[in-house]
Amino acid sequence: MKTNVQAPKILFEKLGTAGVVTFNRPKFNPVNYSVSAQLHHALASWERSCSRVLFKGAGGNFSAGGDFKWLLSSDREPTKYAYMSSESNNKYRISQNRIPYVAFMDGAVLGVALMLVAHAKYRVVTERTVVAMPEARFGWLSSGPHFLPKLDNHLGFFMSMTGKLLKSKDVMLAGMATHFVPSARLQELELELISCNVEDIETRLNSFSEPIGEFTLAPHIKDIDYCFSADTVEEIIERLSKMDCEWSKEVLEMMAPLCPTMLKVTLKVMRLGKTLDLKNALRMTYRVLSRCVGSYNAQEGLRALLAGEADHPNWQPRRLEEVTDVMVDKYFEPLPEGEELRLYDD
């Protein structure tokens, strides 16, 4: 009698002094609490026993981000808080770069997956790379206020508030990656990085990296910087509307189906994140995400996504002008005693 044995959702290999992490739920490799918690324990151990860590995804994608079906489950609220805590600690640990972290950002790298490796010392993109922060489409917060606000020309604001996809070399040109390597050479590069001396990692990466060319967003950089430097979402939309060109109309169309509440929350998070150090940015994000868990808009956004209705969710409130400052500020209030984010070195 055959048994249905499921493959592990995340794989950990120790090859010599190298640790290799593989997200292993093809084809999208989504992340849930189990994946995040296992990663947390592995990274803590490997920082004592490995000289480098490589991240990759199975089946042609790195990771499409959070596991939406799991997040929509209404009976797992405590586990969702644990998930957010482990995710925050994973990001923080990687950011410290006590050993070199290398991310092979091949295929889709979305949402929390992108932010997980955003602070890795080396981030490799390929011709198949696609990155985006689509959370506002689902009534959630973009989890990158420790990284995205610091991109030049308000590109991080633009990505978080539109869900805009960046592809291939544009990811590097936007400041989100360090090397471009053709996907056909990733396996060869992986073997080199596993076997070389740790002090030679950057030299090996440089030897595989290829020229990156022109940024496809270059014609619109000044417009992005101008529009998304505005103080309010309403002013961003007003600036885009007054431009009245094909590009601005496209951006307005991307923003139209997004959750009005989360657009305003996201803008405040990004503006605050620009001034915060990493620890405080993570704590702020955790507070906001804690208010998202179980909220009507988050549940409605994920329901609409899984039902194929992502452009027509029933947001509450439905219009930007109905979202008050009081509503937005509630997301940022301190959590009850004992519920704030704790990082592993606190």
258-295: per-residue pLDDT in tens? 999 999 999 999 999 999 999 999 999 999 999 988 78
Residue closest to 129 by CA, chosen among 155, 156, 108: 108
Q: Residues 144, 101: one domain?
A: no
Helices within the chain (DSSP H only): 33-49, 68-72, 77-96, 111-116, 155-162, 169-173, 186-195, 201-208, 221-227, 233-243, 246-255, 260-273, 278-292, 296-306, 325-330
What is the reported pLDDT for 262?
95
Range of the domain at 120: 1-132+175-214
Beta bridge partners of 56: 22
Chain center to CA of 284? 16
Q: Residues 210, 222: one domain?
A: no
Q: Residues 41, 179: one domain?
A: yes
Q: Residues 189, 44: one domain?
A: yes
- 71/96 Cα distance (integer angstroms): 28
- 107/226 Cα distance (integer angstroms): 31
What is the reported pLDDT for 234?
98
Q: Residues 224, 323: one domain?
A: yes
In sequence order, the 6+-apart residues with CB closer than 8 A to the CB of 112 are 31, 65, 66, 87, 143
- 164/133 Cα distance (integer angstroms): 7
In sequence order, the 6+-apart residues with CB closer than 8 A to the CB of 44 are 93, 344
Beta bridge partners of 12: 21
- 341/282 Cα distance (integer angstroms): 8
Q: Residues 209, 224: one domain?
A: no
Q: Residues 328, 233: one domain?
A: yes
What is the reported pLDDT for 87?
94
Q: Residues 201, 241: one domain?
A: no
Query: CA 160, 165, 170: angle at the middle one, nearest 5?
Result: 105
What is the reported pLDDT for 3?
46
What is the reported pLDDT for 1?
41
Token code pair at residue 1: 């009698």
Q: Is 168 left (phi over 0), alpha (psi -120 to 50) or beta?
A: left
Whether 334 maps to a domain, the answer reads: yes
Low-confidence ranges of the chain (pLDDT < 50): 1-3
Provide the domain count of the chain: 2
Helices within 124-277 (DSSP H only): 155-162, 169-173, 186-195, 201-208, 221-227, 233-243, 246-255, 260-273
What is the reported pLDDT for 144?
79
Residue closest to 36 by CA, chosen among 89, 75, 73: 89
CATH number at residue 196: 3.90.226.10
Whether 222 maps to a domain, the answer reads: yes
What is the reported pLDDT for 121?
97
Q: Residues 318, 342: one domain?
A: yes
